[in-house]
Amino acid sequence: MLRVGIGYDVHALMEGRPLILGGIEIPHEKGLQGHSDADVLTHAIMDALLGALALGDLGKHFPDTDEQYRGISSIKLLELVMGLMAESGYKIGNIDCIIAAQRPKLAPHIPQMRENLARALKMDLGSVSVKATTTEHLGFEGREEGMSSQAVVLLVKNV
């Protein structure tokens, strides 16, 4: 049996925070605002996984009112979601993600993001796709007010 999930996340940019994407810190004058490390890429992946499993969303599992999640690494949260997936008897077939951000240029960091995510997801690197795009100065991403990310995941039932 196959299941497909889609995830979407948005965070505002602000000074005084590190920019974490795909579990790595990227040099930039602003980071993403959030209760956890605000890693929009990893959040979108988790939301896609939870959606494919019909288990709700990130807010249901990791509410921003719970202090145990303040500042937590999204990769650690991803590991918890992977546990839920394993309990459900599924594994990831492949994952495709995109980050929308005007700046900084993300292309040089994508190989490291892919490696980090593949390791956390316990997947072959060739099954993890990460892309980045600008919005040609349109919308909140184009005005550099924030970043967004989308992810699609295919789950396969363990046999």
Beta bridge partners of 24: 21
Binding residues: 9-11, 35-36, 43, 57-59, 62-66, 133-136, 140, 143
The strand order across the sheet containing 2-15 reads: 30-32, 2-15, 146-157, 90-100, 128-133
Q: Is the pTM here over 0.85, yes or no?
A: yes
Q: Residues within the annotated binding site for a divalent metal cation?
A: 9, 11, 43
pLDDT for the residue 158: 87
d(CA 137, CA 149): 16
Range of the domain at 26: 2-157
Q: Residue 22: which of 43, 51, 2 has the closest Cα?
A: 43
Cβ proximity of 50 and 5 under 8 Å: yes
Distance CA(80)–CA(53), nearest Å, equals 14
- Where would I find the H helices in the chain? 40-52, 58-61, 74-87, 110-121, 139-142
The pLDDT profile of the chain, 159 residues, written as one tens digit per residue, is 999 999 999 999 999 999 999 999 999 999 999 999 999 999 999 999 999 999 999 999 999 999 999 999 999 999 999 999 999 999 999 999 999 999 999 999 999 999 999 999 999 999 999 999 999 999 999 999 999 999 999 999 988
DSSP 8-class letter at 98: E
- Domain harbouring 39, CATH code: 3.30.1330.50
pLDDT at 121: 95
Q: What is the pLDDT of residue 159?
A: 81
What's the total number of domains in the chain? 1
The pLDDT value recorded for residue 126 is: 97
First to last CA, the chain: 10
